[in-house]
Amino acid sequence: MHDERRRIEERVERVHNQRVKPAIYAATVPFEVEAWQAPGEPVPFEEAAGAAYEPFAMGTPWGPPWGTTWFRMSGQVPAEWAGRRVEAVIDLGFVGDWPGNQAEALVHRVDGTPLKAVNPLNQYVPVGNPAAGGERIDYLVEAASNPDILANDFAEPTPLGDVLTAGDRPLYTFRRADLAVLDEQVWHLDLDLQVLRELMVHLGEHEPRRHEIMHALDRAMDALDLDDISGSAAAVREVLAPVLARPAHASAHTISGVGHAHIDSAWLWPIRETKRKTSRTFSNVTSLADEYEDFIFACSQAQQYEWVRDNYPHVWARIQESVKKGQWAPVGGMWVEADGNLPGGEAIARQLVHGKRFFIEHFGVETKGVWLPDSFGYTAAYPQLAKLAGNDWFLTQKISWNQTNKFPHHTFWWEGIDGTRIFTHFPPVDTYNARFSGEEMDRAVRNYSEKGAGTRSLAPFGWGDGGGGPTREIMERARRLADLEGSPKVVIEHPDQFFAKAREEYPDAPVWVGELYLELHRATYTSQARTKQGNRRSEHRLREAELWATTAALHAPGYTYPYEKLDRLWKTVLLHQFHDILPGSSIAWVHREAEAEYARVAGELEALTAEAVAALGAGGTRVFNAGPYDRAEVIRTSAGAPAYVEVPGSGSAPLAAADGAATGSPQPVTVSGRVLDNGLVRVEVAEDGTLSSVYDIRAGREVLAGRGNLLRLHTDLPNYWDAWDIDKHYKNRFTDLLDPDSVTVVEDDPLLGAIRVTRSFGKGSTLTQTITVRAGSPRIDIETDIDWHEAEKIIKAAFPVDVRAAHSSAEIQFGHVQRPTHTNTSWESARFEVSGHRWVHIGEPGYGVAVLNDSTYGHDVSRTVREDGGTTTTVALSLVRAPRIPDPEADQGRHRFTYSLLPGATIGDAVAEGYALNLPLRVAESAGAAEPVVSVAGDGVTVEAVKLADDRSGDVVVRLYESRGGRARGLVRTGFPLAGFQVTDLLERPREEDAAAAVAADGAVEVTLRPFQVLTLRLRRGE
């Protein structure tokens, strides 16, 4: 047989694209269209319905950036269309095929009921099937003219990312608004051809099945009358029916498809636009559910459900009905799909608590899995936290984006830092926006790592990265691929069903231990530093507000615990932990609003804390310690004078002295030239402003092996994704800042000494650092104030330490992870920038050093061997970046933060000082409480949260964990009569699995924890 592949394939392609597709709609009549441009922000339907509309012609430009145009459309179904499938077809002037980042619209009936959205790949609205001839159709269409931020493929900065800079030039040209008859035979023929063509080209040239399909397509083209596509479509489908009916091989891979619409809660659009995106997408989904009984849609992010509930009651009612019918599957159990590295431990716990509770309360559904397809790496604390919230499985896809190494598994057990394991899956289709194309089906099978052991994988299908969701075309593809030779089998089912089947067939799946590190998007630990600082500050302010509110509720008659306010503030902070807000990868508008929200949250939490402290009564000036450990340190009084105080963890103490001469003060600080000495450490500042020496007097050894606090300005232009990525070549070009404007002693007091270094550099940037040593503490604080005006740069602060550290330890949620300092393998080499929370620790047997921070997450740790044979291990903190895409002004302006060097530190010291740096002591006029609400005796047992139970029973909830990486035993005592206790899960429900970890002990609770174990105690108050 002659090889005619080229002729046949080109023939089919041309006829399909040029003749079949244009014939899908058999007849059309135009709507009459009028328009009204809403001024400013979006308006309610009622306001738009009463507005004054003007005639609008097709081909007219419309829509300024971020604007809203309402279109009134009126039409009449021709009498001769009676009994046929009639649809409204609307093309707003769509660009490309991505529905998430351009014009979108929600179509309403004139009574305000939302019907369905339209976007580039979903332009129809059902009118009737069958339609009534002569029927009048009237719609009000809310069209959003969101700019295409990716129009230049992220090649250059754009002012379109903020309504303040975007201008008002119309972005789109309206192309079409018609009533049309859908020719169902032609539409189905189009789908038959799509599926067979794509399957054919992805089968090997040696495969008989490929040639069978090819010749069937050739015969089908012979059967097609090019002058009567509609009339011959049924006959053509009969020709193709036999090849579509051939069943899949018995060993064919099974793909569990579940509908999905990845709606970023903010990204290339602001939060206000996401609220509308949810209504559009969820209208589409519920409409599709009416057409396809076998359709199942998985949807996460309780925050988005709440937006719909509050703003679109009709859509909310349709969601509730779909859940009851089993077609809508709430998943994920989190408030939003949060970043997987940066939120604190208690914040991730609250993400799970608020998310799961929402689904239980509103749908009677307890979600069983964590659904995080698009976060930029995942903390090793997740398995334990997920299980403590009642989850059985974990799903993500993002690790397939690795730049260097291919992750070895798709189905596996993920083991966290405490030993907890959770069943985990990465869809080998390598997308959470699948459409069941031939290329995707081929990739899923080729890519699947578990061949020979597992036989199934999951594919979230539907248009996403901004919404849209599944379409009827994707559902039709799934039906054709349910049992088709040459393809994997597709079954539509709930994710819980997939995970149950996958676990049953593969119970001994391999184990991956530790973090899921994404070898890409490493700059998300640093970009938009003010957003990250707002999150860090908010997390600690929430801890403090809850602690003192609990104290006041226990000890202050008449005080009412602020449940509603704390709940609302927590949800605001949780929302801004979304995986494109907190990482710094959103447009300028998003981060501008985030900074304003963090400022509002700070103000409200300060007011709540002040109210709680004041409620404890008058009684002099006291110092309040919201941290979990007792502290003895130097503070400044309200008058600005230094004072040395001792305060119990989670408690308060009188301010004993305000003149710096308190009895029992530690050895005083001396300042001599550029040398600060407090008897514990001696710090010398060089003429160039770096630390030339840090001598640990206690250990009798020099800490540094080079310039300490070396500020290095690197060129930072990644290959792509500017706000997301930092590529390894950034290290190759840099300037060390060694020419200060001034080095000046600014504090010379027995309780503290400080030297200030000022610098000017680059394009008008300035940097001021105050290096402070306090009496009684080896911690060296470096308070930093940067006025930053660089572009495509990153500034790092490096500490070369004279220790031979085999690994670094970085704090994560409820513990820490160890990472090798060598680069023996490609996996280790790829970790050239990593995340950590309040501290990084390096050490050798017998001696360690910690670098602490109050708002920095990105860092790197490297080591080299010196000519003298010693080893230098360097910790470098990433302070500020200057990406220009998608926010051209990212990080420009003022930044204030503190980082610290802690010589002679154990892991326990790092934990304690990390809390201390992030939770400054508070001075207030108050009588305080006689005892802390809770105190713990026992090394390594750390209290993370103290609050009243969410059920308003008055019980006190305490969350604690083992923080050093070893077994720990502690005695938990209360500052109130203890009537009983219970070990609970994160949702404050009894947890029998951990019940043995706590026992009653003479009016207290004795706890025994494994390394990094998280334990939640519910304490019942006595009389």
Q: Report which of 202, 262, 217, 252 is spatially closest to residue 440, judged by C-alpha positions.
A: 202
Q: Catalytic amino acids? A: 374
- The C-alpha torsion from 711 through 712 and 713 to 717, rounded to 10°, is -140
| Alpha carbon distance 622, 638 (integer Å) | 11
For residue 68, count other CB atoms closer than 10 A to its CB: 23
Which amino acid is it at 880? V
Q: Report which of 172, 141, 173 is spatially closest to residue 53, judged by C-alpha positions.
A: 141
| Alpha carbon distance 432, 720 (integer Å) | 21
User: What are the residue ranges of helices labelled H in 364-484?
Assistant: 382-388, 438-447, 472-480
Q: Mapped to the 3 state alphabet, what secondary structure does 245-256 carry?
A: HCCCCCCCCEEE
Residue 575's alpha-carbon distances to 348, 470, 537, 551, 866, in angstroms, are 12, 25, 15, 28, 48
Task: Return the half-sphere exposure (C-beta side, CA atoms, 13 A cut-off) of residue 944.
Answer: 25
Determine if the peptide bond prior to 488 is cis (ω within 30°): no
| Alpha carbon distance 232, 223 (integer Å) | 7
Q: Report which of 651, 621, 648 is spatially closest to residue 637, judged by C-alpha positions.
A: 621
Q: Report which of 510, 230, 515, 568 is spatially closest to residue 376, judged by C-alpha positions.
A: 515
Q: Report which of 629, 680, 636, 674 is spatially closest to residue 655, judged by C-alpha positions.
A: 636
Dihedral sign for Cα atoms in the order 158, 163, 169, 170: positive
Give residue 205's region: left, alpha or beta (phi > 0; psi -120 to 50).
Answer: alpha
| 3-state DSSP assignment of residue 929 | coil
Task: Identify whether the C-beta of residue 775 lies closer than 8 Å to the C-beta of residue 750.
Answer: yes
Task: Identify whether the C-beta of residue 544 lies closer than 8 Å to the C-beta of residue 609.
Answer: yes
Task: Identify whether the C-beta of residue 553 lies closer than 8 Å to the C-beta of residue 561.
Answer: yes
Task: Identify whether the C-beta of residue 239 lies closer than 8 Å to the C-beta of residue 558.
Answer: no
Task: Return the half-sphere exposure (C-beta side, CA atoms, 13 A cut-off) of residue 103.
Answer: 28
Q: Report which of 756, 753, 728, 752 is spatially closest to residue 742, judged by C-alpha positions.
A: 756
* Residue-level length of the chain: 1023
User: Which structure tokens are listed for 510?
Assistant: 């391999």
Task: Identify whether the C-beta of residue 782 lies closer than 8 Å to the C-beta of residue 708.
Answer: no
Give residue 469's region: left, alpha or beta (phi > 0; psi -120 to 50).
Answer: left
| Alpha carbon distance 782, 780 (integer Å) | 7
| Alpha carbon distance 930, 551 (integer Å) | 10
User: Which structure tokens are listed for 189?
Assistant: 């023929």
User: What's the Rg (C-alpha) of the chain?
Assistant: 31
| Alpha carbon distance 952, 562 (integer Å) | 11
| Alpha carbon distance 121, 105 (integer Å) | 12
Give 645's strand partners. Answer: 633
Residue 730's alpha-carbon distances to 368, 735, 861, 894, in angstroms, are 42, 12, 15, 24
